Amino acid sequence: MTEYRAELKKLAEKLMEVMDENLGIPKGHIKKMFTGGDEENAFFGTKVSHYPSCPHPERVTGVRAHTDAGGIILLFQDNEVGGLEILKDGKWTDVQPIPNAICINTGDQIEVLSNGRYKSVWHRVQAVPNGTKRLIASFYNPSYNATIEPASQLIQKENKDVNHFGYPKFVFGDYMSVYIKQKFLPKEPRFEAVKAAN
């Protein structure tokens, strides 16, 4: 698991560099924002989730719909049992397990740093009657003290204080204080709450 986590952390950092390039911002910008310049400050964690088969899935909710608070999420699903869904174009869509593949998800902080060009993804896990599902999710998140805001290159010059998407500048720990109370609610009020606090 230690080796697996180390390799996934490298993958997350490479993905951030690719995002920097795609956004036209300096290489290393997202990582620098997450760490505040000190690589040891960013948080990288892994959790293993176990979802047993459910004889009556219509009676329960697996994991309710939500976006992830952090940055880059790397998800390894088992190869056979479904249940993970994303909201795309207003419809819930299955994320089919692909053998030996890592599913990449972006969280709320990537949405803010990219000024909305990358969106945090609404997702949920449905209970299923036909098998046990295991997920290994690894999260590359900002330090709690990291200041998060849209990259200056992505904000229209005539509207620097509040960009046209309305993403605020905030400290990630402050965002988490709001998120833990509003995880399953729309994300826009979370952004408004941290904007009002600053």
Residues noted as catalytic: 47, 66, 68, 123
Beta strands in the chain (DSSP E): 43-51, 63-66, 72-77, 84-88, 91-94, 102-106, 123-125, 133-141, 147-148, 170-171
Contact 77, 51 (CB under 8 A): no
Tell the residue number behind the tokens 């904000």, with chain if given.
Answer: 155
Q: How many CA atoms lie within 13 A of 157 on its CB side?
A: 0
For residues 119-155, b (16+ Cβ closer than 10 Å) or e, as one string? ebbbbbbbbbeeeebebbbbbbbbbeebebebbeebb
Distance CA(64)–CA(62), nearest Å, equals 6
